[in-house]
Amino acid sequence: MKAEYVIVGAGSAGCALAYRLTEAGHRVTLIEFGGSDRSIYIQMPGALSYPMNMPRFDWGFHTRSEEHLGGRSLVTPRGKVLGGSSSINGMVFVRGNRKDFDHWQESGADGWGYKDVLPYFKRMEAWHGGASPWRGTNGPLHVTRGSRRNPLFNAFTEAGEQAGWPHTPDYNGENQEGFGPMEATIWGGRRWSAAAAYLRPAMKSGLLTIVHGFARRVLFQDNRAYAVEIERKGIIECVEAEREIILSASSINTPKLLMLSGIGPADHLVQHGIPVIADRPGVGANLQDHLEIYMQYKSLKKVTLYTYYNLLGKGRVGVEWLLQKTGLGASNQFESCGFIRSSDAVDYPDIQYHFLPLAVRYDGKAAVSGHGFQVHVGPMRSKSRGTVRLVSNDPNAAPEIHFNYMSHPDDWKEFRACVRLTREIFDQPAMAEYRGDEIQPGADVQSDDDIDTFIRQHAESAFHPCGTARVGAEDDPLAVVNPELCVIGTQGLRVADSSIFPRITNGNLNAPSIMTGEKAADHILGRFRCNTGWDNSLIVD
């Protein structure tokens, strides 16, 4: 099998990359281990808690024991399906803060500042919120807002304003800070994943071949990547690339593939008997995530989703969605949000809120008995760093994932601020007619030690891993890819997914991951040079 370009991973970035390369007239082979995304559990937004807990759609990764979280092992869902994690996530759309990308630029990712990435955010989206110089309206990715019919949504944002924070009409626009409506990749009542937005249009071009196989390693001649070794139906095959190979396999599987291919910390590779192609200590390092807690309250009014949290209620919601693609099943129920600063000393928001009119775990497995509501809240820029490492040279072995959560003392200070600021917000008049007793952490959890114990026992991943093959300057010993996303020390190999993030962005990672795929395509096509910016005369024939 041969193509001009071979992409590993049909996820958020991989789908966008495949679309733009085929749009430019190139033959692309896309390797994806997972199967079809045509399932009600994926397509119905209200069913979001199901696919991330189904082995059919999820790789089933777990962390090793996290010593600062009481030795707990946390789940690390990653999409194993067309669309990747965009097919199993919560569909929340957050670009990140402009200062996130300016930090990337300052840390050596030339050409990845906000002014450079904004055109790609605009190019990729079809925003349905009205005219705005900050937003795009003609892209393949539909971005919408929920109806916010439930009174709790507006009560929460009003409470945030009463607590002294601004109202932000569009946190993806000019100003992120404040409280306002949340946006989602939902269109026509369906999940609008990267597969829907990019992959299906690319398939119509006739230039895209999708190969369902398990990627084992990249093959090299000298230091040039020329093929991907895959296993398909028990047979080992090679998928050759005439021009380039691009890894878009996630921040967990991309560093695993790099190391299995001989690119990574030399001592680690030698330990597992893997010949070293390029000694890059940064491969698998710099692992980051967002942790969050659920702060839950009883509701004094029966206006929450608990009314539908039973077999009959779920059935009614499902039937309406099946027949009309409307109703509660057509929303992810994250329709209001907030971005605030933990203190005046912080120069831009470092806390995010997802409000939900139900008191329930993210995986849907445990709901509070009775009417309640909650916010998911957590710090945005943890200083803790972890690793992804091989456990052997067997491609079928899952990697060791160690986020090293809460290992930096500042993380504890920021999380305590999350708890106390959230209580201030819910104590505002706008919530008075709805706010009952605090379910968790509980009114008796007040001291630093008590809050820390709650965090240690109850903090959960927001499922935003990134950073394990970070972009940086060629002479940066910990950078894995240069600003053109070429793997340093090799030829013909690039990375394009959330692995490249030098530092995690504010909010959910689906939008910046798709942006990465969009921008990677222009680097490959020669339309963007990091030292000069855009130049359409550089398009590769």
Residues taking part in catalysis = 464
In 395-501, where do the E strands start and end? 400-402, 435-440, 460-461, 493-495
Distance CA 86, CA 192 (A): 8
From 284, 295, 512, 497, select the one nearest 404 (Cα to Cα). 284
Beta bridge partners of residue 296, listed in sequence order:
374, 440
Q: Is 436 left (phi over 0), alpha (psi -120 to 50) or beta?
A: beta
Q: In what helix (H) or strand (E) does residue 247 lie, and over which residues does it extend?
A: strand 235-247
Which two structure tokens, joined as six digits, stand for 240? 């050759």
The response to whether 53 counts as a known ligand-binding position is no
Q: Any idea what DSSP says for residue 69? A: G
DSSP annotation string for 26-46 = --EEEE-SSB----HHHHSGG
Please answer whether residues 228 and 46 qualify as being in contact, where contact means their C-beta atoms are separated by less than 8 angstroms.
no
Phi, psi for residue 75 in degrees, rounded to 5 = -75, 150
The response to whether 91 counts as a known ligand-binding position is yes
Beta bridge partners of residue 142, listed in sequence order:
126
The response to whether 378 counts as a known ligand-binding position is no
**Burial class of residue 155, CB neighbours in 10 A (0-12, 13-18, 19+):** buried
Helix (H, G, I), strand (E, B) or coil at 60: coil
**Virtual CA dihedral for 25, 30, 35, 40, nearest 10 degrees?**
-40
Distance CA 272, CA 266 (A): 10
Q: Is the peptide bond before 133 cis (omega within 30 degrees of 0)?
A: no
The response to whether 89 counts as a known ligand-binding position is yes
Q: Using DSSP bridges, classify how beta strands 460-461 and 291-299 pair: parallel, antiparallel or unpaired.
A: antiparallel
Q: Any idea what DSSP says for residue 258? A: H
From 251, 241, 280, 288, select the one nearest 264 (Cα to Cα). 280
The response to whether 92 counts as a known ligand-binding position is yes
Please report, in range form, the residues annotated as the binding site for FAD. Answer: 81, 89-92
Please report, in range form, the residues annotated as the binding site. Answer: 81, 89-92
